[in-house]
Amino acid sequence: MWVMLQTLNDEVPKYRDQISSPGLTVFPKPVTALEYSFSVSKRESYEGYIEDLKKFLKPYTAEAQKNLRNCQDGALFEQKGPVYEACQFPLALLEACSGESDPEFGYSKGHPCILVKMNRIIGLKPQGKPAIECTGNSKGENTTTLPVYPSEGNIDLKYFPYYGKKLHASYLQPLVAVQFNYTASSTPKEVTVECKIVGSKNLKNYDDRDKFLGRVAFKITMRA
Amino acid sequence: MGQKTPQIYSVELNGAKDMKQTDKGDDKDKYRGLWSTCLELRKNHHKEHVTKEIDLDDHKLSNKELENKYHTNIVTGLSSTQAAELLARDGPNALSPPQETPEIIKFLKQMVGGFSILLWVGAILCWIAYGIQFSNDKSSSLDNVYLGTVLALVVILTGIFAYYQEAKSTNIMASFSKMIPQQALVIRDSEKKIIPAEQLVVGDIVEIKGGDQIPADIRLLFAQGCKVDNSSLTGESEPQPRSCEFTHDNPLETKNIGFYSTTCLEVSISPVGTATGMVINTGDRTIIGHIASLASGVGNEKTPIATEIEHFVHIVAGVAISIGVLFFIIAVSMKYRVLDSIIFLIGIIVANVPEGLLATVTVTLSLTAKRMAKKNCLVKNLEAVETLGSTSIICSDKTGTLTQNRMTVAHLWFDNQIFMADTSEDHFKQTFDQSSGTWASLSKIITLCNRAEFRPGQERVPIMKRVVVGDASETALLKFSEVVLGDVMEIRKRNHKVAEIPFNSTNKFQLSIHKTDDPTDKRFLMVMKGAPEKILEKCSTIMVNGQEQPLDQSTAEAFYTAYMELGGLGERVLGFCHLYLSADEFPETYSFDVDAMNFPMSNLCFVGLLSMIDPPRSTVPDAITKCRSAGIKVIMVTGDHPITAKAIAKSVGIISANSETVEDIAKRLNIAVEQVNKQDAKAVVVTGMELKDMSEDQLDEVLTSYPEIVFARTSPQQKLIIVEGCQRQDAVVAVTGDGVNDSPALKKADIGIAMGIAGSDAAKNAADMVLLDDNFASIVTGVEEGRLIFDNLKKTIAYTLTKNIAELCPFLIYIIVGVPLPLGTITILFIDLGTDIVPSIALAYEKAESDIMNRKPRHKKKDRLVNKPLAVYSYLHIGLMQSLGAFLVYFTVYAQEGFRPSTLINLRVEWEKDFVNNLEDSYGQEWTRYQRKYLEWTGYTAFFIGIMIQQIADLIIRKTRKNSIFQQGLFRNKVIWVGIASQIIIALILSYGLGSITALNFTMLRPQYWFVAVPHAFLIWVYDEVRKLFIRLYPGSWWDKNMYY
C-alpha cells in the first residue's frame, strides 16, 4: 500500500481515461435535485441562491484576481512551469449576471441567473470554439434559446489547459451565465432548461448513460 | 428382541393377530424373531386400522375347500373374466415400490434447503427496498429489482442443479434395479398360458419348474421332490423340501406353502417335472410384501455428511446473520437511512453465503460416487459416499461377501497325510502329491460316486465358472475332479454305472456300482462316499500307498485325528471307500437291486477323506487388514455354524492369528471356561442363542470389550439388534445384507450395503449402497474414497470460505469508513458462482496427503467437517490477507485515476448523490455522477480481479492441509490447473468481454492491475507453507491444535 502511494504523482493522476470529456454543472448549487423554485415576491425563497452565487463568485472579484494574468484571447494558454499562472476571468463578462450591477442576480425581477461551468479536467485542450448553448422549454410554449453571457456563451480557449490543484492553485474556471427573461405572472412558471457544450469536436455533449456529460438539464419554477 | 426395537417404525402391519396365533408351537428362533418384530411394531403403532387380514389358513384347507374359497378349479383354473375382475380388485401382483417422496417435494426441498432461505430473504429484502424506493420516487433505479431477481435465480438454479444431480444418481439405481419381467405359467380357461407374473390373481393355478422364482404366495397342490430356497426370507441357506401335505400350523413352517420371490430349486423330473400350486396371496399381501414394507418404515438416519453440512450451514448462516444484524444496527445508529441499512444487510448476507458451495459439494459427491461405481460400489444416495468413509464398524455377512459362496475342496486326507488343495477363485492348480496309488483310487471314487453334471455347451467356459446341476458338495467334487483329472464325463462313460443309491439323510451315504474301464478286469467296482464315521463303520481295510491294509486301532485313530482336525477348520468332511466285487460272485450279468441291497455293505476298503469349505475370497484378508489399520472393526454376522464361522473368521483375519477366544484359552490351559480371565480373550464367538438371552448392557459389554467379534447362528432379525448395539457405541455402522429379512437392519444401519448379485430387491431398496460384485474388498475401496472425499470437502470448504471475508470486508469498510463501495453484490455472485466453481470441484480430485487408511475413522461428534481451526484460519488468516490484497488493487485503481485513499474516506455520501456532478478528486478534477459510477465499477472489477488472483494462491495452498505443496506435487492434480485456467478465463471474459454490459458492473481493467495482488498471492502461499512446516515440525503443539484444520 505504501509502495503504491509512493508511485503516485503529486501533481497529475496517472490516468485520466475515465474523464476524457467534461461534465457541466450549474450554480447555485442545487440542494436536493436540479430544481430551482422561488417566488419573486418572497425574498427568503431565493435568498439562499443569491448567497450561494455570491460565495461561488468570491474568487472572481477584481480584488481576488489582481495577481492573475491577463491572457491573450482565443488561444490555448500552455505553460511549461515550474510556476503556472492563471488567466483572469473578469466578472464583467457575465454582464447582468455578474452580481455587480444587480446584487440579486435578477431573482427579484423575475429574471434569475444560473451559472453554468465545465468540470475541470487536467490537461484538457478543447478544440474549435467551445460555447454553452441553453434552451428553455415551458409547458405549452415553443422551445426558445435563452440569453447567455458572455455573448454566445463563448468559453475562451485561454483558460485551458488546467494543470491540477497543486500546480495551478489560482486557476479560475471560465463561467457562462444563463438568464431567464420570462415575465413573472400570477401562475407559477415552470421552465425546463437544457444547456450543452457546442462548437468543439472533442467535448462531447451527448452520452446515453451520462446525463451530465457536456450537458445539463434543470428546472426552474417561478412564482410571482 | 422386542424391547430393543425403538419406536422407529411407522408401518401399518396387517394381520399380526393371525401371525400371533400361528406362532404357537413354533420352536424356531428365526420365525419368532420375525414375528415378534412384527408384533412389537404393532404395539408401537398408534393408528390401528386393519384393512385386510392375511388369510393364513390356506395351508390347512383341503383342495376342495380351497377351490370353494377362491372360486376356482384346480384342473381348469380361473376363467379370464374372473381373473380380470380379481386383477382389477387386488391390483397387480407386484411389490409396490417404497413410498417415494413426490418429485415436487424433493424439488421444493432443494429450493429451501441450506442457504437458500437466506438468499430468499435477501431477494425479498431487495424487492421490499425497491418497493419503498419506488413509493418515494417513481424514477428510482431498478438495481434492487435486478439484484433480487438475480438472487432468486441463483437459488432456483442451484436448486434445480442439486435436484438434477440427485435425480441422476437415483436414476442409475432405478435402471439397475429394473428386473426382467417375470413370466408365470398359469392355467386359465382350461388352457396353459404364459402371462407376466404381475397379472396373477388369487385362485390362479400356476405350474412351477426347477429354477423358477415362485411368482406369488402359493399353496402347493401337487409337488414331488420339490425343494425351495427360502434364504431370502428366513436366512436358511439349506434348501427346504416342499410337498402338498399340511405339516405345520405355522404357515412359514408347513411344507405346502411356497413364498413369493423365493426360488424353486428343483422338482423331480418324473412324473411331470413341475409343481402345481394355487395362488393365495399376491403383491404386497404376500409375506415378502409385508417384510418389505417393514423396512420402509424404519426411519432413515440422517447421514453423517448431511449432519456436517447442516452444521456448516449453521455456522455460516450464524456468521452472516449476526454480522448482518450487527452492521444493520451500526448503520442505523450511524444515521444511515433504514432503507440503505437494509441494502447493506443484503450485501452482507450475499457476501457471507457461499452460494456455489452446496452445488459444488453435490458435484464432488457425485464424482466420487461415479468413481466408486467403477470400483463396484453403486451408491444410491449421494451422501452415503462419505458415510462409508466415516464407518467405524462393518457388520459383514459371511457367505458370498467374505467367501466365494461356493463349496470348494479344501483338504484331502489319504496315506495318513493331510494335503491342502488350492481354493483360490481362478488359479485352480492342485499341487498336492498325486503319485500315490491311493490317490488313483480316491480320484476314481470322487469322479464316479457323484451325480452332479455340467450343463451342456460350456466347453469354453473356465471350469470354475461352469454351471452345474447338482448340490453344492457334489458340484465342488465335480469341479475338483474335472480340474485334476480332465474330462469327468468321459471317465464316467468309460466306467458304466449299473446301480446307484443317492444320498439321503438317513443313510448318510451315497453309493454307486460301475463296470471298470479296464477291459481285462471283469469285476464291478462299488464306490461310496458319505459321513466319515458312517463310511468307516463299513470298512475293514484301509488303503495306504495304494496297498490295502487291515484297519487297526492306530489307523482308526489317525483317521479320527484327521477328521477332527478338518472338522475343527469348519470344513464339511466326507469319507470315501470302495470295493471291487469279485467276478465270481457278481458276474457281468448280475442284476443289482438297490432296494434289496443284494451286494456287500461291509468290509469295504477305506480310501480317504476329503473336506470342503466355502473358501474366503482371496482379496478379503487384505481388505480386513486394511480395515484394521484403518481402525474399522469388522464384525462377522452369519447364520452359519460357530465352528465354520470361526474358521472363516480366522482365515480372513477377522479373528487375527494370535488372538484367542475364552474357549481357546480354556482349552490351551486345560481349565474350565468359567475360570478364564475374560480380559485375556481378544476374540469372541457369540451364537444367536446366547445373543437371545443377552440384555442390552451385556451386548454393549461384548461389543466394547472384544475387538474381534463373530456372531454365528444368528437370524437376520438379530442383525438389527447387533446394529443397534453398535450404534449405541456412537459408531457409524455399515451393514451388508442380501435377504429380504436383512432390510430392516440395512435401513437402520448408517450405511446399508446390499449385495448386487445375491441381494434381493427388498435389500437393494433398503440399502444405501449396492456392491455390484458382492465382494467385501470393494467396501474397503469405498471406505478409502469416502475418507478422501471428507478430506477434500474440507479443502473445498476452506477454499470457499476464505474469500467470503474478502467479499464481506468491502461492505464493512464501506459502512464504517465511507469509501465508495469496493465490491458490488452482483460481482460477488460472479465470484461465488463463476470463478470459484471449477477450482473448488478440482479439489475433489486431490490425492490423499498420507495413507488415509492408516488412521482411525473420524469421530462422529468430534471430527467435524468445519471445525474451529478451519473457520478461524480461513476467515481470519487467509481471508484477511486476501482482503488486504484486494483492497490494494482497489485503492491503486482509485488513486491512479485521481482519488487518493485519503480523499476516499467519508466520500460516500457526496459520491452517491445523483445531482452532484462536479465532485472534486485529489487533483482538483471534477467528476460527474456517471463518471464516478463507472470508476466505481472499475473498482468492483479491480477488487474482483484482486480476489481472483489471490484465490489462485488459495487454491494451491488448499491442495494440502499438512504437507508442503512440493511434497504433494504441484502438477499431480491436473484438474487444479483446469480450475486455475477457468478462473482466469472467466475473469477475462467478464472484464474484457462483458465489460460493456451495464447491469453486470464490469469494466475493462488495465492489464497491469491484474498483477497488483500477485505479491499478496505469494505472501499467502509462503504464509501457509510456514504454517504447514510448523505443524509438521511440532505435532501436538499449540500450533498444531489451532492451525491444523
Q: Please give the average per-residue pLDDT across B59-84, as a whole number.
A: 85
On whether any CB of chain A is under 8 Å from the CB of B164, the answer is no
Number of inter-chain CB pairs under 8 A, A vs B? 104
Yes or no, beta carbons of A13 and B924 under 8 Å apart: no
Neighbouring residues of B506: CB distance < 8 A, sequence distance ≥ 6: none
pLDDT at B23: 37
Per CATH, the homologous superfamily of domain B381-400+617-774 is: HAD superfamily/HAD-like (3.40.50.1000)
Question: Which residues on chain B are in Cβ contact (under 8 Å) with A33?
Answer: 914-915
Burial B181-204 (b: 16+ CB within 10 A, else e): ebebbbbbeeeeeebebbbbbbbb
B661/B642 Cα distance (integer angstroms): 12
Of B926, B938, B998, nearest to A120 by CB-CB distance is B926
3 state DSSP class of B411: strand
What's the pLDDT tens digit per position in B424-469? 776 566 777 788 888 888 988 999 998 888 888 787 888 878 888 7
**Residue type for position B900:** R
- Asked if the model's pLDDT at residue B44 lies above 60, the reply is no
Q: How confident is the model at residue B48 (pLDDT cuts 50, 70, 90)?
A: very low
The secondary element (H helix, E strand) that includes residue B932 is helix B929-957
Q: Is the bond preceding residue A150 a cis peptide, omega within 30 degrees?
A: yes
Nearest CA in chain B to A12: B923
- Weakest-pLDDT range from B6-10, B193-197, B367-371, B392-396: B6-10
pLDDT at B173: 54
Q: Is the bond preceding residue A82 a cis peptide, omega within 30 degrees?
A: yes
Yes or no, beta carbons of B922 and A30 under 8 Å apart: no
pLDDT at B225: 77
**Spatial contact of A202 and A21, defined as CB atoms under 8 Å apart:** yes
C-alpha cell at B648: 472363516
Q: How confident is the model at residue B184 (pLDDT cuts 50, 70, 90)?
A: confident
- Asked if the model's pLDDT at residue B168 lies above 60, the reply is yes
Report the percentage of chain B scoring pLDDT > 70: 89
Q: Please give the average per-residue pLDDT across B276-294, as a whole number.
A: 79
pLDDT at B913: 84
B11/B381 Cα distance (integer angstroms): 22
**Residue type for position A131:** A
Of B891, B923, B924, nearest to A4 by CB-CB distance is B891
The domain B795-845+862-1043 having CATH identifier 2.60.40.10: the answer here is: no
- Asked if the model's pLDDT at residue A127 lies above 70, the reply is yes
Show which residues on chain A lie within 8 Å of chain B, measured between beta carbons.
Answer: 1, 4-5, 8, 11-19, 22-25, 30, 32-34, 117, 119-122, 162, 164-166, 168, 171, 207, 209-213, 216
Question: Which alpha helices (DSSP H) does chain A contain, by range?
Answer: 2-6, 43-57, 62-65
- Asked if the model's pLDDT at residue B29 lies above 50, the reply is no
> Residues, chain A, total?
224
B827/B395 Cα distance (integer angstroms): 50
B804/B879 Cα distance (integer angstroms): 7
Q: Please give the average per-residue pLDDT across B648-668, as a whole number.
A: 88
pLDDT at B237: 59
pLDDT at B238: 66
3 state DSSP class of A12: coil
pLDDT at B725: 92
Neighbouring residues of B431: CB distance < 8 A, sequence distance ≥ 6: B422
Question: Which residues on chain B are in Cβ contact (under 8 Å) with A212?
Answer: 917, 928-930
Yes or no, beta carbons of A18 and B921 under 8 Å apart: no
Using alpha carbons, select from A119, A113, A199 the residue that is nearest to residue A154: A199
C-alpha cell at B160: 434445480
pLDDT at B598: 85
pLDDT at B8: 32
Q: Which residue has the higher pLDDT, B14 or B1012?
A: B1012
Q: How confident is the model at residue B527 (pLDDT cuts 50, 70, 90)?
A: very high
Instruction: Sketch the domain layout of chain A as residue ranges.
Output: 20-222
Per CATH, the homologous superfamily of domain A20-222 is: Na, k-atpase alpha subunit. (2.60.40.1660)
Give the 3-state secondary structure of B951-991.
HHHHHHHCCCCCCCHHHHCCCCCHHHHHHHHHHHHHHHHHH
For residue B415, is it left (φ>0), alpha (ψ between -120 and 50) or beta? left
Average pLDDT, chain A: 84
Q: Please give the average per-residue pLDDT across B914-931, as a whole number.
A: 88
Yes or no, beta carbons of A212 and B929 under 8 Å apart: yes
Q: How confident is the model at residue B271 (pLDDT cuts 50, 70, 90)?
A: low
- Weakest-pLDDT range from B46-55, B507-516, B520-529, B863-872: B46-55
Yes or no, beta carbons of A4 and B1012 under 8 Å apart: yes
pLDDT at B16: 34
Q: Which of residues 91-150 of B touch A (CB under 8 A)?
A: none
What's the pLDDT tens digit per position in A145-171? 888 888 888 888 888 889 888 888 888
Question: Which residues on chain A are in Cβ contact (under 8 Å) with B915?
Answer: 30, 32-34
Q: Please give the average per-residue pLDDT across B664-682, as a whole number.
A: 85
Q: Which residue has the higher pLDDT, A185 or B1040?
A: B1040
**Residue type for position B979:** G
Question: B408-613 in CATH: which number?
Answer: 3.40.1110.10
pLDDT at B996: 65
Question: B63-89+178-297 in CATH: which number?
Answer: 2.70.150.10
Q: Please give the average per-residue pLDDT across B856-876, as a whole number.
A: 87
Q: How confident is the model at residue B236 (pLDDT cuts 50, 70, 90)?
A: low
Cβ atoms within 10 Å, residue B580:
13
pLDDT at B1018: 93
The ipTM, to two decimals, is 0.92
Yes or no, beta carbons of A5 and B938 under 8 Å apart: no
Q: How confident is the model at residue A108 (pLDDT cuts 50, 70, 90)?
A: confident
- Asked if the model's pLDDT at residue B938 lies above 50, the reply is yes
Neighbouring residues of B811: CB distance < 8 A, sequence distance ≥ 6: B327, B344, B347, B348, B351, B821, B823
What's the pLDDT tens digit per position in B812-847? 899 889 899 999 888 888 898 889 999 999 998 998
Q: How confident is the model at residue B9 (pLDDT cuts 50, 70, 90)?
A: very low
Question: Which residues on chain A are in Cβ contact (under 8 Å) with B896?
Answer: 8, 13-15
Strand order in the sheet with B183-188: B191-196, B183-188, B205-208, B275-281, B217-222, B257-258
Q: Catalytic residue positions of B? A: 397
A192/B909 Cα distance (integer angstroms): 27
Instruction: Sketch the domain layout of chain B as residue ranges.
Output: 63-89+178-297, 101-169+300-353, 381-400+617-774, 408-613, 795-845+862-1043
The predicted model scores a pTM of: 0.78
A49/A38 Cα distance (integer angstroms): 9
Cα-only R_g, chain B: 37
C-alpha cell at B13: 402391519
B66/B146 Cα distance (integer angstroms): 73
What's the pLDDT tens digit per position in B106-151? 788 878 877 888 888 888 888 888 888 888 777 777 778 888 888 8
pLDDT at B125: 87
- Asked if the model's pLDDT at residue A193 lies above 80, the reply is yes
Yes or no, beta carbons of A1 and B927 under 8 Å apart: no
**Spatial contact of B418 and B568, defined as CB atoms under 8 Å apart:** no
Yes or no, beta carbons of A212 and B896 under 8 Å apart: no
pLDDT at A136: 86
pLDDT at B174: 56
Q: Which residue has the higher pLDDT, B462 or B751?
A: B751
Of B918, B922, B928, nearest to A213 by CB-CB distance is B928
Average pLDDT, chain B: 82
